[in-house]
Chain A
Amino acid sequence: MMIPIQQAAFFIFSVLLIIAALMTIISRNPVRCALFLVLAFFAAAALWIILEAEFLGLILVLVYVGAVMTLFLFVIMTLNIDRTEKQQRFVRYSLFAIVSAVILLALLISAVFSLKGLADLLPLSAEASNTHALGNVLYTQYAYPFELTGVLLLVGIIATIALSFREKRLNKAIPPELQFKVKPSDRLRIVKMPTERKK
């Protein structure tokens, strides 16, 4: 019996995902928020592997848990945000926020149920290697968007460095325009004096 195992895995990981997302929202400590978000990413990666998207599941774990969430944790630890913890946690009108989120959820679920023909849609069996199939599509049909993604990453690198680079305190070099203005008379003073004679 193959199907009950798959369904059990789906329900376990979806419940885990929902709980982790909820704890990400309502947890007080930012470090705990980040760790619950990591748990949510793991659950989503497991769901994607159930959906036969193994490459994206692994990429989600590697890139998100390994890089992006590590960056979040670094920033949380770099900034001293204990001082801001004394403020009130939620805003006054959080009741309206909950109501609007519930309305959005009801709208989305009713939209899902109003779609006809989705329930009896059966997936074809995918190719053996998801990575191979994805690479075949990515490097042929989506080659230009792929290269644009590389340019976007370069822009991200440059923007991040330009934003967080502090020139004045880190760098002791003299600017070149000041170096050019220097004349020899500023640096060296030639003094004429008579030769001293030993007695």
Chain B
Amino acid sequence: MIPLNYYLILAAIVFSLGLLGLLINRNNLINLLMCVELLLLAVNINFVAFSHFFSDLSGQVFVFFVLAVAAVEAAIGLAILIVLFRTRHSIEVDALNRLKG
């Protein structure tokens, strides 16, 4: 049987990779959205692992909600991205400095 620690360490590794991607990617905004998806996936792995080992289905219900919220977030994020590309003709992160004072 695989212990719970393995799943937690795997989720920690995936979470760190997603955070690293958020920090080092400055090229386009789509990569940042994908890194956010990686972070949410790591959190969901934790939820499912705890739900399995505690024999409590509430964790899986919360994974369900996190999936729904992440889908909405991806849709709205991509819509904002398209509007941004129409106005600025670029989705580089460093080019988005219109709100700079």
Q: Are A67 and B71 in contact (CB under 8 A)?
A: yes
Q: Are B23 and A101 in contact (CB under 8 A)?
A: yes
Q: Which of B3, B12, B70, B83 contacts A119 (CB 8 A)?
A: B3
| Cα–Cα, bound, A111→B35 (Å) | 23
| B37 adjacent to A152 (CB under 8 Å) | no
Q: Which residue of A lies closest to B37 (CB)?
A: A37
Contact A119 B5 (CB under 8 A): yes
Q: Is A68 in contact with B17, judged by CB distance below 8 angstroms? A: no
User: How many B residues have CB within 8 A of the partner chain?
Assistant: 69
A63 at the interface (CB under 8 A from B): yes
Contact B24 A30 (CB under 8 A): no
The answer to whether A163 touches B76 (Cβ under 8 A) is yes
A126: CB under 8 A from chain B? Answer: yes
Total number of residue pairs linking A and B with CB closer than 8 Å:
220
Which chain A positions have C-beta within 8 A of B15? 104, 108
How far does the Cβ of B65 sit from chain A's closest Cβ, in whole Å? 6
Find out whether the CB atom of A134 lies under 8 angstroms from the CB atom of B61: yes
Residues of A within 8 A of B78 (CB): 71-72, 75
Chain A contacts for B91, CB-based, 8 A: 79, 81, 84
Q: Which of A55, A87, A104, A133 contacts B92 (CB 8 A)?
A: A87
Total interface residues on A, using CB and 8 Å?
A: 82
Cβ distance B13 to chain A, nearest Cβ, rounded Å: 6
A122 cross-chain contacts in B, Cβ below 8 A:
1, 53
Residues of A within 8 A of B (CB): 3, 6-7, 10, 14, 17-18, 21-22, 24-25, 30, 33-34, 37, 40-41, 44, 47-48, 50-53, 55-56, 59-60, 63-64, 67-68, 71-72, 75-76, 78-79, 81, 83-85, 87, 89-91, 94, 97-98, 100-102, 104-105, 108-109, 112-113, 118-119, 121-124, 126, 130, 133-134, 137-138, 141-142, 145, 149, 152-153, 155-156, 159-160, 163-164
Q: Which residues of B are at the interface with A, using a C-beta cutoff of 8 A?
A: 1-10, 12-21, 23-28, 30-31, 33-35, 37-38, 41, 44-45, 48-49, 51-55, 57-58, 60-61, 63-65, 67-72, 74-76, 78-83, 85, 90-92
A-B contact pairs, 6 of them (CB 8 A): A10-B6, A68-B71, A84-B90, A138-B64, A153-B71, A156-B76
Kindly list the 10 A-B residue pairs having the minimum CB-CB distance in the complex, ordered from nearest.
A97-B23, A156-B72, A25-B21, A108-B12, A101-B20, A105-B16, A163-B79, A124-B55, A51-B52, A160-B79
